[in-house]
């Protein structure tokens, strides 16, 4: 088995390799002067089970192209099986047609990864589960819920917990964590009356005097998350924290979180943290390297992956 890390999140690749007692495969991934991607693997991979670690986070197109070229290099190097480990699957939010003449880009990316040479995909908390069906190869969609549940229990186990979904679409994800913690569930119904008018937040559930934990898969601009925190505090919550798998945190998101009522925003290292994220006083990042590494070991040994979440 070999672990190869592209450039999007080298620390995560190194942490996964260390957990598996392996060295990261020696490879050069560089750019020509016109920014073309060039990949050269400096080790023999013939007949090997190779796992390529590469989230397709910002810059999404560059990182996606790195992944595709690396997969092609390994396929042409006669690797026995190639698994694309994509902790954050970019373009996942484009999983359906939102209007006439709009693309389903998540399906396009699935096709590209498959055609480039991947035999299997491992990812974490897909934005929508049906994306697994976009692939004609096996997909292992891992969940951060067990890691989140343990952390919430350790930090807030003695308090009156309320798990909150920031929108109707995330109810299933929030319910899983609420069930693990034997906690109550609330839902925020957000509505925009008309363009240019701020959202109206309606809270389904009694959050007064409760410790509220918002749960979501992606935090990008953080607008919805921060608005939800304000609405919960206005409804009488004792405190509001958030647990989100993928910290995209683009634009002014970090400043927005810092100035919000959020006591803490907890994210995983599926996306490498920027300096602004590392310096933010109320953003904490913890590693899911051990979860990914354990899944990789089980795949390589042909053991069950789903039993990780029992």
Q: What is the mean pLDDT of residues 166-193?
A: 88
Question: Could you read off the pLDDT of 205-230 as tens digits, one per residue?
Answer: 999 999 999 999 999 999 889 999 99
Q: What pLDDT, in 10s, does the model give residues 226-255?
A: 999 999 999 999 999 999 999 999 989 999
Whether residue 221 is annotated as binding a ligand: the answer is yes
Per-residue confidence band for 310, with pLDDT thresholds at 50, 70 and 90: confident
Specify the pLDDT at position 239: 96
Report pLDDT for 171. Answer: 92
Question: Of 12-26, 44-58, 184-198, which range is least confident?
Answer: 184-198
Write down all domains in the chain, each with its CATH number in brackets: 2-142 (3.40.50.2020), 145-286 (3.40.50.2020)
Quick one: CA torsion of 248, 29, 27, 15, rounded to 10 degrees?
-10
Residues 64-93 have a mean pLDDT of 97
pLDDT-derived band at 200, boundaries 50, 70, 90? low
pLDDT at 194: 55
Q: What tokens were used for 274?
A: 């920027």
Question: Which of 290, 212, 211, 284 has the alpha carbon at shortest distance from 247?
Answer: 284
224 assigned binding-site residue: yes
Sheet (strand 184-191) strand order:
200-204, 184-191, 161-165, 211-219, 239-247, 264-268, 283-286
Cα separation of 111 and 109, whole Å? 5
- 196 pLDDT band, cuts 50/70/90, is very low
DSSP states of 217-254 as a string? EEESS-HHHHHHHHHHHHTT-SEEEEEEEEE---TTHH
Flag whether pLDDT at 28 surpasses 90.
yes
What does pLDDT average to over the chain?
A: 93
Q: Edge to edge, what strands does the sheet with 49-53 contain?
A: 2-5, 49-53, 81-86, 120-124, 139-142
Q: pLDDT at position 98, please?
A: 85
Residue matched to tokens 């560059």: 62
DSSP structural state of residue 131? G
Active-site amino acid positions: 190
Mean pLDDT of all residues in 33-50: 96
- How far is it, in rounded angstroms, from Cα 146 to Cα 295? 14
Determine the pLDDT at residue 193.
Answer: 58
| pLDDT computed for residue 198 by the predictor | 47
As a whole number of angstroms, the distance between CA 19 and CA 24 comes to: 11
222 is in an annotated binding site: yes
- Percentage of the chain lying above the pLDDT 90 cut: 89
Mean pLDDT of 169-196: 84
Q: pLDDT class for 190, splitting at 50, 70, 90?
A: confident
Confidence of residue 175 (pLDDT cuts 50, 70, 90): very high
Annotated binding residue 275 = no
21 belongs to an annotated ligand binding site: no
Asked whether the predicted pLDDT for residue 94 surpasses 70, the reply is yes
User: Rounded to whole angstroms, how far apart are CA atoms 59 and 189?
Assistant: 32
**Looking at residue 150, what is its pLDDT?**
93
Give residue-wise pLDDT tens across range 108-137: 999 999 999 999 999 999 998 899 999 999
> Dihedral angle at the C-alpha atoms of 254, 256, 262, 264, nearest 10 degrees?
0
């Amino acid at each position: 088995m070999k672990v190869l890390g592209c450039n999007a999140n080298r620390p995560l690749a190194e942490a996964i390799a260390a957990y598996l007692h392996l060295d990261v495969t020696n490879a050069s991934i560089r750019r020509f002067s016109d920014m073309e991607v060039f990949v050269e693997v400096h080790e023999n991979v013939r007949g090997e089970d190779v796992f390529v670690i590469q989230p397709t986070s910002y810059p999404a197109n560059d990182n996606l192209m790195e992944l595709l070229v690396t997969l092609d290099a390994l396929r042409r190097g006669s690797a026995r099986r190639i698994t694309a480990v994509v902790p954050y699957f970019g373009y996942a939010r484009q999983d359906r047609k939102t209007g006439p003449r709009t693309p389903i880009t998540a399906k396009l990316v699935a096709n590209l990864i498959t055609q480039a040479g991947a035999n299997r995909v491992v990812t974490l908390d897909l934005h929508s589960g049906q994306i697994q069906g976009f692939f004609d190869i096996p997909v292992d969609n891992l969940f951060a819920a067990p890691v989140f549940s343990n952390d919430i229990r350790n930090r807030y186990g003695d308090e009156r917990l309320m798990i909150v979904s920031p929108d109707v679409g995330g109810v299933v994800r929030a319910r899983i964590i609420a069930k693990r913690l034997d906690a109550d569930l609330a839902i925020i119904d957000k509505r925009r009356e008309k363009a240019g008018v701020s959202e109206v937040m309606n809270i389904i559930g009694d959050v007064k005097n409760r410790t509220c934990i918002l749960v979501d898969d992606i935090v990008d601009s953080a607008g919805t998350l921060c608005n939800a925190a304000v609405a919960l505090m206005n409804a009488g919550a004792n405190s509001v924290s958030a647990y989100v798998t993928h910290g995209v945190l683009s634009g002014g998101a970090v400043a927005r979180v810092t100035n919000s009522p959020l006591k803490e925003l907890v994210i995983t290292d599926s996306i490498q943290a920027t300096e602004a994220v590392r310096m933010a006083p109320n953003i904490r990042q913890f590693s899911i390297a051990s979860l990914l590494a354990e899944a990789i070991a089980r795949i390589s040994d042909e053991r069950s992956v789903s039993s990780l979440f029992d």
